[in-house]
Amino acid sequence: MTEYTYINNAYWDPPEESANNYAAALQKAIYFYQQQRSGVLPDNNTVIWRGDSFLGDGADVGLNLTGGYFNDGGYLKLGLPIASTVMTLAWSVYEYQSIFDNIGQLDEILDAIKWGTDYLIRCHPTQDEYYFQVGDISRVNDWRGPVESAHMFFNRPSYKVNDTHGGSAVTAATAAALALSSIIFNETDPDYALTLLTHAEQLDNLAWNMLSDDYYNNHSLPDYQSFNGFWDELSTSGILLYMKTDNTTYLEKAENATRNWPKDGSYFEYRETHSWDDMHYIAQIFLSRETSNQTYVESIERNLDYWLPSGGISYTPGGLAYCNPSWAGEGSLRFATNAAFLASLWSDDLNCTPANSSNYRNFAESQINYTLGENPYNRSYLIGFGNSSWQNISHRTAHGSWMGSISDPEENRHILYGALVGGPRSSSDFWNNQRSIKEETGVACDYNAGYIGALAKMTGLYGGFPHIDFPNASWFRPKNITDLEYYGNAVVMYNGTISTEISVDLTNHGTWPAKVADMLSYRYYLNLTEVFEANYSIDDITINLVSEGGISITVSNLIHLFNNTYYVVVDYTGVEIYPGQDDTNAKESTLTFSLPSGALNSEWDPTNDWSFQGLNSTRYASEYIPVYDDNVLVYGKAPNNDTTPPDAPTGLVAAPISDSQIGLDWNDNVESDFDIYRIYRSIISGFTPNISNRINQTVSSDYSDNGLNPNTIYYYLIIAVDTNGNPSTESNQGSATTNPDNTPPDAPTGLVAAPISDSQIGLDWNDNVESDFDIYRIYRSTISGFTPNISNL
């Protein structure tokens, strides 16, 4: 296959918002789960870049195990973290239902919970078995593309536990999730709540019957084994079933299970917090409420005190309470926000020691505000929230690679709204904004779960307003400034006296959403005026089609459009083209049009053909070779009788706005069939506008070009295009120089010098974290108070 040419990504940011709009942050954090859905998406799906995925899940065992959530930015559905996620989301509603309701987000979070519980029920087809995992864990890092085409690369084995294949932790965690969900659905859907309870009780019983995690640990993804054992999950399912049923047997079982909780000395473990692997921090809160046992109260506050400043946990200079246990290896923000959730709700609990309440609340607020921008970067770790939030995070579908590559394309094609990233991996606040560093830029369902509870509390305290227009089109990257989806990537292979040979790579880089396309076709248009003037007919034209690798495609006879314009249809129906890798995202065909041997050169002229426009020896995505999906136009345009181009734009003026922005303005085109302006940019005067230097298109006669380099001269041209696709000649050339960047970086701080030997001194100072930092210059003198200059550099 060959190299491709794309329209350059233009500068674009979603609408801005205040960092202390906690209701909007909560709204987006809930929305994150819509982007994680697997299976058949509902008719009211609002994620325009997500489609159905893995519709065969469970087929290997004769069941329907579709639905549920992808655990993170990959393709696996993992029972233990998803059960913990659903249970924690339900807990947020249990504690703060009125807050969700007041800001219009109750239906949204209940929908997110039900999408999870529907799947968990599906994984429990009989009372003595539970399917805890779907996906091939041996190939978890093999390929990086969108979930909508991932089934073309992966098998989807299903794994279950039963009486003889132990998995008590995942089974009891699911029982806990369904039990608490049964409580919160009881008022709005009592029949569904009863179904949830039935499954919860059966799963709790199965977990006690197994009392083992051996099979689960031997077959789960190694990073998601039950490191903490199963007693914490058993106590949690027990106390929640007691709360639902008032059956004291469940309370007794819950308290019995606490005797086996991991210990830190003589205390219950207290140096971490709630996570998908450890539910005892939740269980002891519910147990304290139901029993008033001071042992649980003391354990809760021992844990929360540990998280306070000077309580024992490490703090970063920027104020993050840093916890990243060895079994996890990632997700420091997940732990901090889970601890914030526990601290928030305990600060209001009747059993909370009054003197501690404000400390716990202050701690919780500091951690949430850190994630929303009160950190050394002054940027939000909640994707798509606040100003200039991070975007190139580790999520394969949001990245949208058509090559199965982590680096291609360079920029994520979608914003993963509401995702909390893993965060710093050390206690220095340093964070790598690189897609390849999953430990820091990765996301996961359980990352958001406790975070939502803490954000709900902040919303209750400080208010804010959700966006009434979210998630409408203005929040998504417009297609017209991104790389293309479906197109014919064409090149002239041969152009002779009586024939022309064109190669077309029919391409699927789809991402709104991605899909496996098997009904694509393209049309190639010819103007046969010179052929007919030489007394030839269409019967004298030979059409030959050659396909790549022998794929089964067809070409039609010449079809009359109007006057002397004809076209052929090259039909790929039945050929699967999809974003995946080099040999799947495009399929090549070669078309040859020929007159009989002996025809004169003047009798064959492709330069007047509609589809020959712009073609040469370099491939490019020709808009004059329109592409169709199931006979619906998806890219390009066909010719019509109007061949009169619009007037060239006039009066183009360019002026600098800042060190990274230039403003353009030109005279309006008032022609009735005007469609768009195309904007071209170069750093070379007198350049020729083409697809490689087109930066955007617009319907207005002004434009702001952003993301430029300081103190650099840029040249611009504008071309008008009418509704029939006729381009004008180019405008006058405009040029401007961006302002110089005159803002110096902050002075280095914390310089320390120390002798290393009799001929060597070591220097150390604090890092500069400014985005435009380049180098440090080091000066030396034997005189104190010296002035740095070139002589002592």
pLDDT at 510: 92
pLDDT for 450-504, tens place per residue? 999 999 999 999 999 999 888 887 787 665 555 789 999 999 999 988 899 999 9
pLDDT at 190: 97
Phi/psi of residue 160, nearest 5 degrees: -135, 160
22-479 placed in CATH 2.60.40.10: no
Query: And the tokens for 717?
Result: 């041209």
Taking alpha carbons only, the member of 365, 300, 296 closest to residue 336 is: 365
Ranges of each domain in the chain: 22-479, 486-630
Judge contact between 553 and 572, C-beta under 8 A.
yes
User: Which residues, in sequence order, are CB contacts of 473 under 8 Å at separation 6+?
Assistant: 48
Say how far residue 459 (Cα) sits from the centre of its chain: 25
Would you tell me the crossing angle of helices 248-258 and 280-291 to the nearest 10 degrees? 130
pLDDT at 690: 83
pLDDT at 475: 80
* CA separation for the pair 365, 362 (Å, rounded): 5
pLDDT at 7: 32
Burial of 663 (0-12, 13-18, 19+ CB in 10 A): middle
pLDDT at 516: 96
CATH class of 486-630: mainly beta
User: 483: phi > 0 → left, psi -120 to 50 → alpha, else beta; which?
Assistant: beta
Amino acid symbol at 47? V
pLDDT at 192: 99
The residues of the chain scoring below 50 in pLDDT are 1-12
pLDDT at 772: 77
User: Which residues, in sequence order, are CB contacts of 531 under 8 Å at separation 6+?
Assistant: 540, 541, 595, 603, 604
Query: And the tokens for 633?
Result: 């136009």
Write the DSSP symbol of residue 382.
Answer: B
Phi/psi of residue 236, nearest 5 degrees: -70, -45
Global confidence as pTM: 0.80
370-399: b or e for each residue (b if 16 or more CB lie within 10 Å)? bbbbbbbbebbbbbbbbeebbbbbbbbbbb
pLDDT at 446: 97
The three-point CA angle 35-38-40 to 5° equals: 105
* CA separation for the pair 428, 425 (Å, rounded): 8
